[in-house]
Amino acid sequence: MKSPFTGGKVILEKELRTHEFRGSNIEIMHHYYRCQDTGEFFSDTRLDELNLNQLHNRYREKESIPYKDEIIQYRSQYGIPATKMSLILGLGVNMYGKYEAGEIPNISNGRMIRSICSNPDIFRHFFLCNSSKFDEKEKTSILKKIDAAIEKKESLTDEAYKEYAALGHVSRGEFTGYVKPDLNKARQMVLFFASQLEPFVTKMNKLLFYADFFHYKNTGYAISGISYKAITNGPVPQHYAGLIDNTSDIVDRKDEFYPNDITGERLIARADFDALFFTKDEINTLMTVASRFKKTTTKEIVALSHEENAWIKNIENHNMISYLDAFTLKAI
């Protein structure tokens, strides 16, 4: 990056800054460039997106407004067109589609969508109260889809438990990097690092931490949605043992023995990594982290993690680590 004013060097600056958004005061880590020659400030598309992602995510979190992909998921579980969802909820005919495209609902609409649409039983009752807007054929078809969603929800209990046992927090926010925890992505991240580096379990935990937090640092979003906590050996996934256990079908554990009865478990890939779970930017993050720590020993990466503010400020009580601390990463 060169200065648009002089063509000289620029410095990336960041500071906590409060923005007013729709009447709410939202604090974010605001990023901008400073021209080293003139001292003038400027930004670019990447920093604008990073700042805006933070602002929108923290606003949605504060006001309990569902995220874009949640709004899409609510509708997709019923198989109902966006225009029909708008009609059921009493919105403008194209409004639900606009929310799916990224427009942020106002507070009342956002909370209504979350409270009604996220629960198929409640949505069924709400639909019946407003079914006069549909003819009998449409009513029967929609009820059939809603009932199918209710049946599916009841069968997901075991899957939801498995996801929590592996990932921790299931509701998104600052402890999930503002993405929905995704067990498939988390499993593939373990597989990726196992195939690239064959790390010990302790190092794997740090690689996952650095991948998720480095991606958040650059985009305002984590990759996997894993929740992390601070323990003696550094930052680790909240349920790291459950996560590693969940990958037993794609990653082997190999015990290695050292003097003084010291043992370690090395993780070795037994399947092919599936890049289709990730975006191009996410793949670049994984590759960057693998390259950065390829020659770093387990002891060294633990020491590096102990220098991170994310660990230092949380280790005393073994607290959960906020992704907001990603902006202070030092090792990468």
**Element spanning 102, H or E:** none
Nearest to 54 by CA among 24, 32, 31, 22: 31
Whether 77 shows a pLDDT value over 90: the answer reads: no
One-letter amino acid at 232 equals T
In tens, the pLDDT along 223-259 reads 999 999 999 999 999 999 999 999 999 999 998 876 6
pLDDT confidence band for 157 (50 / 70 / 90): low
Q: Stretch 30-54: mean pLDDT, rounded?
A: 96
Mark residue 64 as left, alpha or beta (left: phi above 0; alpha: psi -120 to 50; beta: remaining).
left
Nearest to 60 by CA among 179, 194, 185: 179
pLDDT confidence band for 8 (50 / 70 / 90): very high
Give the per-residue pLDDT at 261: 57
Mark residue 226 as left, alpha or beta (left: phi above 0; alpha: psi -120 to 50; beta: remaining).
beta
Distance separating alpha carbons of residues 151 and 164, to the nearest angstrom: 21
Give the per-residue pLDDT at 158: 60
How many CB atoms are closer than 10 A to CB 298? 18
Whether 5 shows a pLDDT value over 90: the answer reads: yes
Residue with tokens 């990097």: 177
Cβ neighbours for 213, distance < 8 A, ≥ 6 positions apart: 177, 222, 228, 310, 323, 325, 326, 329
Torsion of CA 295, 301, 303, 306, to 10 degrees: 150
Whether 161 shows a pLDDT value over 70: the answer reads: no
Return the percentage of the chain with pLDDT > 70, whole number. Answer: 94
Cα distances (angstroms) measured from residue 191 to each of 179, 187, 246:
20, 6, 11
